[in-house]
Amino acid sequence: DTIAVAGEFLTAMANTNMFTYEIAPVFTLMEEVTLQKLRNLIGWPNAGDGIFSPGGSISNLYAVLAARFASFPSVKFQGLYEAPRLIIFTSEQAHYSIKRAAIITGIGLDYVRLVRCNERGKMDSQHLIELINETIKMGHIPCMVCATGGTTVLGAFDPIEEISKICKCFGIWLHVDCAWGSGVLLSKKHRYLLNGIENADSVTWNPHKAMGVTLQCSVILFKNESVLENCNGLCADYLFQKDKHYDTSYDTGDKSIQCGRRNDVFKLWLM
């Protein structure tokens, strides 16, 4: 998209960071408004959380970190040494970044359960239930189910409505990786493919895939507020002082796994 290209050029010219409001006030406000709009398109109210990330794989990593923290909050301070065995469920057609996130977070590849798919590449909900029950019988903790909205190979959309009911029944975090297929939320004709996405706890959305935005442009979105700060926050006092002359909730650096973070919002905001 030519507008996105123009936005990319101006972003490079500005060459600013995004860790505090005082460094990039206008871009920070653009990010806040854009994230709110994307959450609204999912079907969530204005209150929520989110951040722009370097790509869909990192957005999925944010989701796994948040789900791990929700399952066992003390892991932030004590690590996994005292934690029970946490299990991630995702389809056999899911993006490999879910497995990589399991490696990075210490959950481990052996504890990613792959759910069967039908001939069209959609997750088998009944098999998901069977795997969850097996996990519980083994004394492990179902940590997260990752559904996919547009698989890499077949472009399949998992039955999110069914999966969300299963997650609600068992009290499991539901993440929807819509890096590829999130653009259907802008379509009155095809939006039904993501029915039930409003029941998810987190969603990955890559505008640089189906929306014509130049690389990189990816977001991780959360239904609830303060998820990222609770999970990742460290309150480094040389950057994130609470006695600044403005509302410090606009300082996004403490909830990011990065410190220096690129401005990826401007080109999307222009569109």
Consecutive sets of 10 residues in the chain, 271 residues long: mean pLDDT of each? 94 95 96 98 93 98 99 94 93 98 98 98 99 98 98 98 99 98 96 98 97 96 97 91 88 95 97 91
Query: Residue 243: its pLDDT value, please?
Result: 85
Q: Which CATH number fits domain 56-205: 3.60.130.10, 3.40.640.10, 3.60.15.10, 3.30.1360.40?
A: 3.40.640.10
**CA distance between the termini of the chain:** 9
Residue among 97, 93, 96, 71 nearest 84 (CA) = 71
Angle formed by the axes of helices 160-170 and 125-137, nearest 10°: 20
- DSSP assignment of 27-69 equals HHHHHHHHHHHHHHHHT--S--EEEEESSHHHHHHHHHHHHHH
Q: Is the dihedral of CA 162, 35, 60, 177 positive or negative?
A: positive
Tokens of 79: 């690590």
Q: What span, in angstroms and rounded, lies between the C-alpha atoms of 187 and 183?
A: 7
Provide the pairing of β-strand 173-178 with 86-91: unpaired
Question: Are 81 and 259 contacting, i.e. CB atoms less than 8 angstroms apart?
Answer: no
Query: Residue 46: its pLDDT value, please?
Result: 77
List the chain domain ranges: 1-47+231-271, 56-205
